[in-house]
Every structure is written in C-alpha cells, then in structure tokens.
Amino acid sequence: QEQVMQIVRDLAGYTMGRSDNVRRAMSKKKGSVMEYERGIFIYGNKAEIEEAKKNGLPENEWPAYVPGCVNNGISAKIAGSVYDMMIDFAKYGFNKSHAACYAVVAYQTAYLKYHYPEEYMAALLTSVIENAGKVTFYIMTCKNMGIKILPPDVNEGLSGFSVKDGSIVYALSAIKGVGKGIVDEIVKEREAFGPFRDLADFIKRMSDSEINKRLVENFIKAGAFDCFSGTRKEKLTVYAEIMDKVSKDKKSGFEGQISLFDIASDEETKASFDIKIPTLGEFDKSVLLEYEKEVIGFYVSGHPLEGDTALLKKHASAITADFVLDEETGNTIVKDGERKKIGGMISDKTVKYTRNNQIMAFVTLEDLYGTVEVIVFPKVYEKYSHILNEESKVFISGRVSVEEDKDAKLIAEDVRLFSDMPRTLWIKFADMEAFEKAKDDLYETLRPYRGEGDSTVNIYCEKEKKLKSSKGRENIKLTEPLLSLLAGIYGEENVKLS
C-alpha cells in the first residue's frame, strides 16, 4: 500500500493526503473513485481547480494542485499501464497481506480471550478508552460473557481498566475531566502511604496535586468514592466545604501561621476540625444513573433498559452497534436500504423546520450497546410526535441509510412504545382458593383495559403449580398505572411481566 502511495506521489505529483485517498479507494474496491483518480493520475487536476474557481471558492479551499504524469514527462500510455498494474495488484495484494497478518493476530487474541478473559477484555477496553461507543459495546460484551464491571474506585482503580478478583475495575482516566497524569499521582500516593481512608483524607493528601472541585465532583458522581462511608448525595453536599477548609489551612501554613493540623496532638482534636458528612440518604436510582452517564459516558451500575432485555431481544432486529462504522473495514454491519427495527430509550431530540415549513426531527436512540441517530421526516413525525419524547422507550422501524466513512442512520417509518408491544402479565396467587376469592375484583380491575391492546394476563397458582385460564385476560393494554395498581393490590413480588 505504501508503494501505491509513493507511485502516485513520485510520478503524478500527488500530495500525501490525496495519495492516501487513492490507497483507501483501492483497498475498499471503490471502482468509481479509482476510475476518477485515473484521469487525475495521467493528466492532473487542472479541471478541478478551474471548477473551484468557477464556483467562487476562496483559493484556500481549492484542491491541491496535481500536475499528472503527462505534465511530468511520462506518456499517457505508460501512465495508464502503471495505473492498471496498481489496480490489478489491489485485487489480490491487499487481501493477501491482511489475511496473513490478521490470521496470526486472530490466533493470539483468541488464545488470550479464552484463557485470560478478564485480563484480555480489560486490555481491549483500555485500547479503545478514547472511543466511548466502542467502550460501551465492549462493556456489554463483558456482561454477556459473565464478567462483572465494577464502578471506578479511587482505592483500586488505575489509569486503564484493571482486574480484581475476576471482575474488571473501571478506568479512572476514563472519567470526564480526569487525565492520566493525575491518576498516576493518585496511584503513587496510594502505593506509598496506603489506601485513602475517607473523602477528607483523599482531599488532604492530594491537595498538593492538580485536583480541583470539578474532578472531585466527577469522582463522586462516577462512584469512585463509594469505598468511603456516606452516600454520593451526602458527599456532593459537603466536598466543596472540605476542599475550602484544606485550601485555607494550606494557605495559612504558607503564610507562616500554625496549622490546625500541626497543633492537633491527637485524633480527637483532628476529628473536631473535620467536617461531618450529613445524613441525607441517597439519590433515586435514576439520578445516580444519569450522573454516571454524565461523567463516564454511559451507565455502569445499572441501565434504564436493564429490565427490558427480554423485550428488546424478542422484537429488535438490530442493535445500535450494528450502525457503527468499523474503522478497519470502513463498513457497518447494516447495509444501505435494509429495513431494521431497533429498540431503546430516546436520549436526545432536535426539531427542525424544512424549507416547506414542516416539522421533522433528529432523534438519538440509546440501547444497551450505544446510540444511533434516527431521522424522522415530516409525515412520520406528525403521526408519532406525541411519543417521540426524551426518555420514552420505543421501537423504531425504518430504512437504513449508509454514507461513506460515517456511522449508519435509520430513517424512521414506524414508532411503537414499549408499553404497546405485546407482553404477558403474570399474577401469582398462593393457591386456587385465594384466586377464586379475588377473581371478581381482578376482572373488574382489568375491565377498563380490555380490548385496547394485544397483551395477555396469566394467573399462576403456586400451591397447585397450575396456570389458570380465566376470562377477560386477552387483549389487555398494559400501562404503568395498571401495573402499579395491581402491584399495590397483590404485592409487587406477585406481579411480573414477560
């Protein structure tokens, strides 16, 4: 491949950048691009520059001048022959070289993944640490392999992903606003003087380093201080005050004043200075997850969709990872024009007006593997705008749109809420007698929801281990209010969805 680039540069005067475009076109078998470049290789790109002038482009936006072989004293016949040789070579040479080296790499990585799965996946995650999409995908791969992903831990974590007791500890440097340099200092301090005892101890011992309030806040939100007593909510309430106290004491020391820590002769005196962490409880699970997403890029300790995995597996024909461009091959798993259905939660929505003043939308749909952009044109948006809201859980069916060197997108044609998908509601009773006593009230509770949906209610009697057929249990529209009502009557542990 390097010789192909050198030939077009030395013979035709290509720039380094344009020579790489020729190499990529050959490696990906892009016939139209290769034929276009044949003309440039032989005769140069004077016509391209004239076209740019004609279109009024400023000179700094003109394509770089390529003289071509003919202008460099090489006949068009010889230049064409050389170009044909390069194309013939590309038909087999690129494939052969890749087949040989990648076969060796495949054997090596397969061996490591089989015998050292946790270490291998930790190394793989570290190698793509700058690519949030790939990290998300490989995190899900780990979970599918049965490997637990632990949140970041200031007393265990390293700059990259690491292994502890068969689990993978999230990389500290993958937290927003945390660089490798500061992580190295944290690890050095920890190894020299032992683990950090609590939040105040961390702030005091790292006060000479370049830590700031944003870094500490992001550590708290990511769960890196969960090894200390107190909840994330409590730590977020008090961390700034601790940092201010430490900073003030440090400044007093610089000015020659006696530090409170210097005069403290025992633990009791030091404890009297320490700021007490208030008892406030913890944030709701949804808030904790949103904070993790904010500072890590995705959810670590859970996922808003973790209770919907069976539904997604049953109804979705693709996952968001199928839409991501593979940098090695330049391709996506989904193909242009295919029809796919993906399921997930809407994490972002942007409304635009077309030239005809019609409303359309660009929606970001997130599943367990990442995100995909969905384009919703006016007619479809008009039909489904009432359910295309942030945090809505939906299945979107449509046509795949693939552009060169970009992630694929989905052109929406149909949208359905998770709650509108056919599901089975299970209600468990201790025995047949308990069911017989409750059935009239149960049917009355279900009556307003009959005939509007396509879900089913099943009754299970535990003592007899029997599934009880009952009237009025078909075509139920399952809604959150109905599920909450049933859970309140029969107990949350006795009301389940499948």
Alpha-carbon distance of 296 to 302, in angstroms, equals: 13
Which residue intervals of 389-474 are DSSP H helices? 432-446
Q: Which range has the worst mean pLDDT, 63-72, 97-106, 312-321? A: 97-106
With CA atoms as reference, report the closest residue to 277 among 205, 194, 198, 197: 198
pLDDT band for position 235 (50/70/90)? very high
Confirm if 344 and 367 have CB atoms less than 8 A apart: yes
Hey, what amino acid is at 239? Y
266 shares its domain with 380: no
Domain boundary among 419, 441, 466: 419
Containing structural domain, residue 493: 424-497
Q: pLDDT digits over 123-172, tens only?
A: 999 999 988 888 888 998 998 899 999 989 999 999 999 999 999 999 99
Alpha-carbon distance of 208 to 401, in angstroms, equals: 52
Q: pLDDT digits over 398-446, tens only?
A: 999 998 778 999 999 999 998 877 778 888 888 888 888 888 888 888 8
Is 219 a domain residue?
A: yes
pLDDT band for position 474 (50/70/90)? low
Is 374 a domain residue?
A: yes
146 shares its domain with 170: yes
End-to-end Cα separation, the chain, in angstroms:
54
Domain boundary among 361, 391, 419: 419
Q: Is the pLDDT of residue 269 over 50?
A: no
Number of domains in the chain: 4
Q: pLDDT digits over 327-366, tens only?
A: 777 789 999 999 999 999 999 999 999 988 999 999 999 9
Q: What are the CA-CA distances from residue 425 to residues 84, 135, 175, 442 (Å)?
A: 66, 35, 40, 13
106 shares its domain with 9: yes
With CA atoms as reference, report the closest residue to 319 among 301, 295, 342: 342
- Residue percentage of the chain with pLDDT more than 70: 92
Kindly state the tokens that stand for 41: 């290789």
Count of C-beta atoms within a 10 Å radius of residue 15: 14
160 shares its domain with 254: yes
156 shares its domain with 275: yes
Output the domain CATH number for residue 373: 2.40.50.140
pTM greater than 0.75: no
Is 301 a domain residue?
A: no
Query: Can you tell me the mean pLDDT for 84-109?
Result: 84
106 shares its domain with 6: yes
394 shares its domain with 430: no
The sign one gets for the Cα dihedral 242, 248, 253, 254 is positive
- Say if residue 399 is exposed, middle or buried (CB neighbours under 10 Å; 0-12, 13-18, 19+): middle
60 shares its domain with 134: no
329 shares its domain with 447: no
449 shares its domain with 490: yes
339 shares its domain with 398: yes
DSSP sequence for 343-372: EEEEEEEEEEE-TTS-EEEEEEEE-SS-EE
Which residue intervals of 303-412 are DSSP H helices? 309-315, 378-384
Q: Which residue has the tokens 């032992």?
A: 194
